[in-house]
Amino acid sequence: MASRCLYQATASELDTLISTDRLLPKLKRGYDDLIGGVLNPQEAESWRNSIPTVIDLLLEEGLGDIQVLIELKTPISDVRMDMVLIGSHPQDGRMSLVVVENKQWQWARPGPSPELVYLSNSTNPRPYTHPIRQVWDYHQVLIDYIPLVRNSAKVHCLVNMHNAVSENLAAIRPARVGLEYDSSLIRMFCSDHRDYFKRALRDLLSPHKASRYAQEFLEAPVLPTESLMTVVSESVCRRSVFPLLDEQRDAYECVQAAVNASKQGAPKEAVLIVGGPGTGKSVIAVELLGSLNRQGIRAVHATGSKSFTLTLRDNVERVDRRAARSFSYFNSYTHATAHNVDVLICDEAHRIRETSDRRRSTWDGEHDRRQGKPQVQELIEAAAVPVFLLDEHQLVRPGEVGSVQLIRDAAASLGIKVQQINLQHQFRCGGCPEYVIWVEQLLGLGWEGGPQPWQHLESFELYAARTPEAMEEFLRGKQAEGRSARIAAGFCWPWSDPRPDGSLIKDVRIGDWHRPWNSRAERERNGIPPSSLWATHPAGFGQIGCIYTAQGFEYDYAGVIFGDDLVWRGQAWQANRRANQDREVQGAPRFGELVRNTYRVLATRGMSGAVLYSTDPSTNRLFSELGIPIL
């Protein structure tokens, strides 16, 4: 995988395109090819207003041969950097990269922490990451994920506030708000700083070897994103591991600001972080947990998933047993006193139940009638700062009720404000939101038009398999290359307990291909991992996982077996309760929605690729007709 941008040219070539009104059409074509979907008119207008302000300065300094990459995708996600200027460094001739962040802001004031700013004087404005902090994250992701840059280049960042005079931004100057940063690597310029901006460009860039360096940079290998579970112990126990970009950084800093405000006696506030699969919710949760506890703040992570929680504990416990106690369950707070912890980080909050006490519940055939205090209220009351991270399309069980509205209503009833951050950018699935959108269109979740033809993506592999054997052979090959891979399926076969010796019964039977579900056991037996570690244990491959063991996890390549509980008939999906073996889901009134949500989750676990197979011939034909390459 290499780096990609919307358009590449020299500063002189861009000047010509700008003067003849040809740049915007080229950028729009680049957007269609690289991103797809509908271009926001505001983004196009920002290109028109901002790009010339940089190109003009380059030409005035005789830097017309500098290479310019417009809207460069960051190595690990679909977040884009406005402009990256490439040349050689005037002092030593090494590759020089200058990241330019263009802002349309005319005014800003300090936010609730040094890393946040406000662009409004309204009573409850949304805070934004300080642009100095934003470009520092870009700097770090280039260094961390492109070995060529780390070993052979110099990277600097310039913030171009071309619509603002310095007086209107004086209040957010780093020295005034207490923002720590390296002024030798990052600088911010306003409209009345044009001469200083030009001098910075002259000091950092020479056109010598610019074309060669740009080619080397764009062709340089990019390191794959590490799985959360492989580095969770480092993140929780020792240091920050994951670079947080754009809305991820906004969410992280909003929680930090809410904690600081709580310490100073401000009214209680909850933080709600909403995003689809692969937008980094659990990464934010883990980074917050580690950072807050290193600051001496009592922070606890909670989920409604036994597999997810036990895997987090297992990985962290190897480094620090005490830190492993920071992982809990939603139903752990039934008897907690108010503000029992400083921060309660509720990951996968879509899995919140009506109440925590299963013993005091009844089922009337349609609804789960639970008694006692609502679980969401317990979670809000248990912490000085409650944090909820959720994806409403991951509701896959009838007893799960977590939603944005549920949390907002519960907070309002307790007189608590809610700060909401929506995550837009994709960090899994090769950093391709196009794939996630395609899966949702395929399954009829939140999009009109139904299944759409598959369009090849450079950074994410998608295949269909005619047989489960072909799927397994492909994924086994990826395992041999050192990549992680798992096969998960819809719950359409019985699930037996392990034999006394721990061996597994091959319940998943498709023709002559027979494989066991992952173990139900809670401990490893004869090299077979327990259910909670199926997604991460090396011996998990060869067993078939389901939604209960896959949700919340990620691996490089995801194999997904669609069972007969969801089949394509005519021009629509048909959900079949009789083909489903999950007794908790079978009788649910929203069975069709739950089963489609299930396959959405399974199909979006892969970081680099996915393989789809259906036991139903008509559904397999649909995959082929949509243009998915066949293994």
What Å distances lie between residue 278 and 501, 549, 551, CA to CA? 38, 17, 12
pLDDT tens column, 105-145: 999 999 988 999 999 887 778 889 999 999 999 999 999 88
Based on the number of CB atoms within 10 Å of its own CB, is 25 exposed (0-12), middle (13-18) or buried (19 or more)? Answer: exposed
Residue 97's contacts (CB-CB under 8 Å, 6 or more residues apart) are 84, 85, 86, 142, 149, 153, 154, 155, 156, 217
Look at residue 442 and tell me whether its pLDDT is greater than 90.
yes
pLDDT in tens, 559-579: 999 999 999 998 899 999 999
- Residues 246-265: what's their mean pLDDT? 91
Of 84-98, 174-188, 295-309, 449-463, which has the strongest mean pLDDT? 84-98
Distance from C-alpha of 78 to C-alpha of 292, rounded to nearest angstrom: 28
3-class DSSP assignment, residue 626: coil
Strand partners, 559: 487, 611
Digit-coded pLDDT (tens) for 366-394? 554 546 789 999 999 999 999 999 988 88
- Angle at CA of residue 192, ends 189 and 196, nearest 5°: 55
The torsion defined by the Cα of 479, 485, 491 and 497, in degrees rounded to 10, comes to 60
Contact 566, 447 (CB under 8 A): no
At residue 144, the 3 state secondary structure works out as: helix
Beta-bridge mates of residue 630: 464
Please give the model's pTM, rounded to 2 decimal places. Answer: 0.79
Question: Is the per-residue pLDDT at 278 higher than 90?
Answer: no
Q: Which of 315, 145, 106, 329 is nearest to 225 (CA)?
A: 145
Q: Quick check: 436 and 393 in contact, CB under 8 A?
A: no
- 96 vs 363, higher pLDDT: 96
Q: What gap in Å lies between CA 93 and CA 84, rounded to an integer?
A: 18
The pLDDT tens digits of the residues spanning 31-71 come to 888 777 778 899 999 999 999 999 999 999 999 999 999 99
Decide if 613 contacts 560 (C-beta within 8 A).
Answer: yes
Give me the mean pLDDT over the 474-498 stretch.
94
Torsions phi, psi for 186 (to 5 deg): -135, 135
Question: d(Cα 510, Cα 536) in Å, to the nearest integer?
Answer: 25
Instruction: Choose among 290, 287, 280: nearest CA to 246.
Output: 280
Mean pLDDT of the residues in the chain: 89
Q: What is the pLDDT of residues 417-433, one digit of tens each?
A: 999 999 887 776 566 78
Query: What percent of the chain has pLDDT above 70?
Result: 94
> How many separate helices (H) and strands (E) can be counted in the chain?
22, 26
| Burial (CB count <10 Å: 0-12, 13-18, 19+), residue 448 | exposed
Asked whether the predicted pLDDT for residue 72 surpasses 50, the reply is yes
Rounded to an integer, the average pLDDT of 509-534 is 89
pLDDT band for position 523 (cuts 50, 70, 90): confident
DSSP label at 372? S
pLDDT digits (tens, 9 = 90+) for 308-366: 787 778 777 777 777 778 888 899 898 888 888 899 999 989 989 988 876 444 444 45
From 548, 551, 427, 544, select the one nearest 486 (Cα to Cα).
544
Average pLDDT estimate for 176-195 = 93
78 contacts 35 by C-beta, under 8 angstroms: yes
Specify the pLDDT at position 225. 65
Cβ count near 531 (within 10 Å): 21
Q: Is 630's pLDDT higher than 80?
A: yes
Report residue 120 as tokens.
């409004």
Q: Please say whether the beta carbons of 554 and 529 come within 8 A.
A: no
DSSP 146-166: -HHHHHHEEEEEEEEETT--H
Lowest mean pLDDT among 198-202, 269-273, 331-335: 331-335
Residue 363 is predicted with a pLDDT of 44
Written as one letter, the residue type at 22 is R
